[in-house]
A = this chain, B = another copy of it.
Amino acid sequence: MKTPLKIGELATHCGVALETIRYYEKIGLLPLPHRAANGYRVYGTAHIEQLAFIRHCRALDMPLSDIAALQQFADEPSGDCGEIDSLIETHLARVHERLASLQNLERQLLNLRAACTSGRCVQECGILHELTAAAQGDGCVCHSQTPVSN
């Protein structure tokens, strides 16, 4: 891996859009890079590692605020690990909850799809009937036991 890198090279290397890098810099998630004489950003090994860390955490769908917190912890190696654990725990709970609600959602949509096959006109479309009836609280194939939470 050759260093230093220009922003476009860093972007390609880490599989990130280049505007995203500037965005991370703007919100203070990435430290300010050096600048070449022409004003171009210049990145070294530390930046590469840090961006890779951020992207890996994002691939785990962690919010940027969690990632910032993790970086803080990493900078104070003598602190207690418990907060890291609970951060992951909380995130896991979030994911788990979202997963359950998506599974419920999928089931409802499958039922909904089964209510109609195309070729008919809108008036007799089972899907619209189901959706309207459900909104009215009548019985229908797509029961909405668990409301979706975002």
Residues of B within 8 A of A137 (CB): 52
A74 within 8 A of B: yes
In the complex where A85-B117, A105-B95 touch, is A52 in contact with B136 (Cβ < 8 A)? yes
- For the complex, is A63 an interface residue (Cβ under 8 Å from B)? no
Count the copies.
Answer: 2
Chain A interface residue bracket vs B:
35 or more
Known pairs A96-B106, A106-B92; A118 contacts B70 (CB<8 A)? no
Q: Which of A2-10, A25-33, A36-44, A76-84 contacts B (4 or more CB under 8 A)?
A: A76-84
If A79-B122, A113-B85 touch, does A70 touch B102 (CB 8 Å cutoff)? Answer: no
Q: Does A49 contact B (CB under 8 A)?
A: yes
Say yes or no: A119 contacts B82, CB within 8 Å: yes
Are B122's CB and A81's CB within 8 A?
A: yes
Q: A128 at the A/B interface (Cβ < 8 Å)?
A: yes
Least CB separation from A55: chain B residue: B135
Could you list which residues of chain A lie within 8 angstroms of chain B, going by C-beta atoms?
Answer: 49, 52-53, 55-61, 70, 73-74, 76-82, 84-86, 88-89, 91-92, 95-96, 98-99, 102-103, 105-106, 108-110, 112-113, 116-125, 127-128, 131-132, 134-137, 142, 144, 147-148
